[in-house]
Structure 1
C-alpha cells in the first residue's frame, strides 16, 4: 500500500505485540492522536466500513479544530484501518482532503506501525506539509509508540 501519488507517511517499530498496539489505537486515541500540548476528543468511532469517524482537537490556548469527520472504508482488526474525509456519516459528500491508512504488521517481537495520508491532489499534499505534517504526525507516532510500549510493560 505504498507508492501512491500525493502520499505522506510516518512509520515506527513498536516493542509491543500487535494485540496491544491495536487496543491502544482503538481505545486510547484521546491520549496520543495529536501532539501535546494539544488534546484529542473522540466524538465517535464506529469502526466498520461505512461507520462514522469524528475527532476534535483542542489547543492549549483555547484553539478548537472543530469536528474532523469522515467514514471508515476498510477495517481489518489488528491489521489495517482506512478512512476518508471525502464523506460524512451517511455517505454525505464533503470537500475531501485525505484518506488515512493506519497499518499494523508483526515485525520481530513487536509491531511495525505506519500511518499514511493520501491526498486528492498535489495542492492538498503541499497544504498538509505546510500545516506541519512533519513534525505533527512524527510526534503523534512517537506518543503512540510510547503509550503502546508502556501498556505492554504493564500488561
Structure 2
C-alpha cells in the first residue's frame, strides 16, 4: 500500500458545506474536487473555477490538476493547461482553469465534480551546459519522426 502524505487544507468562506477533495474509490489515483461557484462555459469559453479552499502542500511535492475523463468524453470539457501544477509555496485559493471544447454551453453548478487532484513528488534538476550531446538511435527526430503505425511484432 502506498503511504499517504498530509496536505493542510483551509476552507474559505465560499467553500462552506462542500466536500473536501477525496478519492472516489480505493484504487483511485486522483481526488475529486468540486466547484464552489455556478458557472456556464460557452463553447470555446474558459473560466478559473473557484474551489473554496487553499492548500499547504509539503515541500518536495506538487498537486497536479487533471481533467475528469467523463466530462471530456461526454461534453468536451477539459483543462487547457493539463496537467496543471500547484506548487508547494502557493497559498492562495485553488482555482481550476476549465475550457469548453464542445459545441454547446456547459453548466457547472456549485458542488459539481470538476477535476482531479494528484499529489506527486517533485524531482529537482539542474542544467549542465555542454558543447555536444550523446548520440541516440532517434537523434534529432521529433514531431512524428517515429511514425503513426505500431511496428509489427
Q: TM-score, normalised by structure 2?
A: 0.29
Instruction: Judging by fraction of residues, say which structure has more helix.
Output: 1
Q: Which has the larger radius of gyration?
A: 2
